[in-house]
Each structure stands twice: as structure tokens, then as C-alpha cells.
Amino acid sequence: MKKTILSGSTVTGDLTLGNYIGALNNWKNLQQDYDCLYFLADLHALTVMQDPKVLKERTYSFLAQYLALGLDEKKNIIFVQSQVPEHTQLAWILTCLTPMGYLNRMTQFKEKSEKHVKNINAGLYTYPTLMAADILLYQADLVPVGEDQRQHLELCRDIVGFFNNRYGEGTFTLPEAYVGKMGARVMSLQDPDKKMSKSDENEKNFVSIIDDPKKIEKKIKGAATDSGTEIKYDVENKAGLSNLMTIYSVLSGKTYAEIETAFAGKMYGHLKVELADLVVSTLKPVQDKYHDLMKNRDHLDSVMKMGAERARVRATSTLKAVYEKTGLVL
């Protein structure tokens, strides 16, 4: 029996070059070794004010980006969160089990409340219980989480304990954080001390996989570097340059030493020009597939429908067990 991995992505922003570099090999390996579910978290997106038309379009866009990056809808279960109503049904039950004191500790709520002072809503506060429902519905063994979500996963594990104490054990799998093999880490173009992120408000910090060639070229040429001139991989003293060399190395297959030799005596600008061309040519087949998919909404609708149906088979089974334990009538 393969272990189950569940991964969700909020449908805000666009997938980045960092996602591209991390995704292809990871997804290919994961689908061989694990039972994988990927969902588009449109319900989570509602904790921040959204334009309905933009949210709907972005959901289709994210699905097309996933497929264009090589995620196989037949080997994995790919679905939209809101199309599986069991998520919100279980979330309410879990919310009723979760002490407010635990939710008060969530640092992300505090951070987002400061960021969105005009929209501090109850959904933002109870977001972690919906995330727990996302995970527990599918009996996920492993959940890939960044540092910003690790606290929420710990709360999810606590919630399993609350449920077990009240209703008995055996209903949920206790999830653990998934830590994959450390691959190339792509950093922000303007702030190389932090990871490139699709949720970054400064567009200059990341390359989106669906950015047009001119925008990609402009972003890479404008990437932060140090005041030196020697092209040498040195994360401590040349963080910005080293980040560009990392991207170049991954996409070209060349080692850092080979890149240093190729650009010996040349300026940073030469590296940026060649890197921009390399990124554009690398992303072209992904972008071509993406644009073809976005023109074929019937196909995207069918992928969504198939994914939701497959996800609901599992979600319904878990929710049925929860209803029986809690005394709710099926």
C-alpha cells in the first residue's frame, strides 16, 4: 500500500519559475512512489477579498498550469476544493471541537490581520480548521508544508487528538509533514534572502511560468546582484548572482564551475541576457500547452469533474465514519 500525499495550493498569484524547477522531477517521482492528491484551494482564497470573475478564471488557469507542468490527471487525483462539499461539512465539525485558545495562537492569522485590516473575517480565523478538514478527509499520511503552514499542520494533529478523546480512535490518520529531497532552491529576484513565492506582492521578485518573454527578460535583467564583477558562485557574498547561477545551472545542466568558466572575464549583464533567453526557451513548451488548455474549457471542465468524483469517493467514506461517530444522521 502506497502512502497518501495531499497537497493544496491557494488559487492566488501564478505558479513561478521556482515551482517549475521544483515540480517536474518531484511530481514524476511522487506519483510513482505515493498515492497523490492535488487540490486547488478556492475556498481558502475567500479569506481575502476576491473579484468573483477573477477567482473563477484563476481556478481554470491554475488547473491548466498544473497540467502544463506535467501533472498527470490520470495518475493523480486533481480537483477543485469547492467541488467537494465534504470539505466544508467536516470543517464545521472540526471547528466545533477546536478550542479558541488554539486558534488564537496561529501566527498567520495575526500576520494576515495586520496585512488586511479592513477584512479581518471569521473565515481567516477558522482557516486552520478547514485546512485540517482538507487533510483528514483523505486520510493523508504526508503533507508537504512550508514553514508558514507547519503550525497549521500541528493544529491538525491536535484536532485528531480532540476528536479521539471525545469519540474514540480509528477515524483519522495522523498526518505528518512531508520533507522531500532538497533540490535547487530558487530565491526572490530582488530579495535573494527569501524564497521565490507566487504570493509575493512585488511582481519583480518572481518569474511566473506564464509571463510573456519580454516580461521575463525585464525581470531577470533587473534582478538584484552585488557590486562586484566576477561571475562566481558564492551564496554568502554574492547571494543574488548565486541565485541566477542556480537557475542557469538547473535549466542548462551545467555545473557552477562550468558556468564560471563560460563567463570568465564577462559582466553580470552577459549572464542575465543568456539566462533570460534560457528561461524563455525552457518555458515556451509549457506556455504553449497552457494556452492550448485555456482555449479548451470543455477539457478543463472534464478534468475538474473527474477529479471531484474521484475525490468524493474518499471524502464521503471519511465523512460517513465521522457522522456515525458524532451522532449525526446520514
User: Tell me: the pLDDT tens digits for 288-300?
Assistant: 999 999 999 999 9
Do 165 and 255 fall within a single domain? no
Residue 14 CA to residue 47 CA, distance in Å, equals: 18
Res. 267: pLDDT tops 70: yes
What CATH number is attached to the domain comprising 265? 1.10.240.10
What CATH number is attached to the domain comprising 74? 3.40.50.620
The residue-averaged pLDDT of 254-268 equals 94
CB count in 10 Å sphere of residue 183: 11
H or E stretch at 33: helix 17-33
Q: Please give the residue that has the higher pLDDT: either 288 or 105.
A: 288
Q: Please give the residue that has the higher pLDDT: either 9 or 294.
A: 294
| Domain limits for position 212 | 203-292
Q: Quickly state the pLDDT bin for 239 (edges 50, 70, 90).
A: very high
C-alpha cell belonging to residue 280:
524563455
184 located within any domain = no
34 located within any domain = yes
Do 148 and 261 fall within a single domain? no
The pLDDT of residue 24 is 60
160 located within any domain = yes
* Positive or negative torsion for Cα 200, 203, 208, 210: positive
189 located within any domain = no
Give the β-pairing of 176-178 and 77-80: unpaired
Residue 152 CA to residue 10 CA, distance in Å, equals: 15
Which residues are identified as catalytic? Answer: 112, 195, 198
196 located within any domain = no
Do 54 and 77 fall within a single domain? yes
The pLDDT of residue 32 is 85
193 located within any domain = no
192 located within any domain = no
Do 76 and 220 fall within a single domain? no
Q: Quickly state the pLDDT bin for 181 (edges 50, 70, 90).
A: low
Do 288 and 314 fall within a single domain? no
Do 78 and 164 fall within a single domain? yes
pLDDT per residue as tens digits for the range 64-95: 999 998 899 999 999 999 999 999 999 999 99
H or E stretch at 256: helix 256-262
Residue 327 CA to residue 330 CA, distance in Å, equals: 9
Percent of the chain with pLDDT over 70: 97
Do 144 and 25 fall within a single domain? yes
**Cβ distance 326 to 171 under 8 Å?**
no
The residue-averaged pLDDT of 16-22 equals 86
161 located within any domain = yes
206-238 residues labelled b (16+ CB within 10 A) or e (exposed): bbbbbbeeeebbebbeebbbeeeeebbbeeeeb
The pLDDT of residue 13 is 80
Strand arrangement of the beta sheet that strand 176-178 belongs to: 77-80, 35-41, 4-10, 142-144, 176-178
The phi, psi pair for 6, rounded to 5°, reads: -120, 130
**Cβ distance 319 to 89 under 8 Å?**
yes
The pLDDT of residue 183 is 62
Do 162 and 225 fall within a single domain? no
Do 146 and 172 fall within a single domain? yes
The number of folded domains in the chain is 2
Measured at the alpha carbon of residue 285, what is the angle toward residues 284 and 286, in degrees to the nearest 5? 90
Do 66 and 210 fall within a single domain? no
Do 36 and 153 fall within a single domain? yes
Amino acid letter, residue 85 = P
Residue 242 CA to residue 222 CA, distance in Å, equals: 15
Do 219 and 267 fall within a single domain? yes
Res. 105: pLDDT tops 90: no
| Alpha helices by DSSP H, 106-146 | 107-115, 122-136
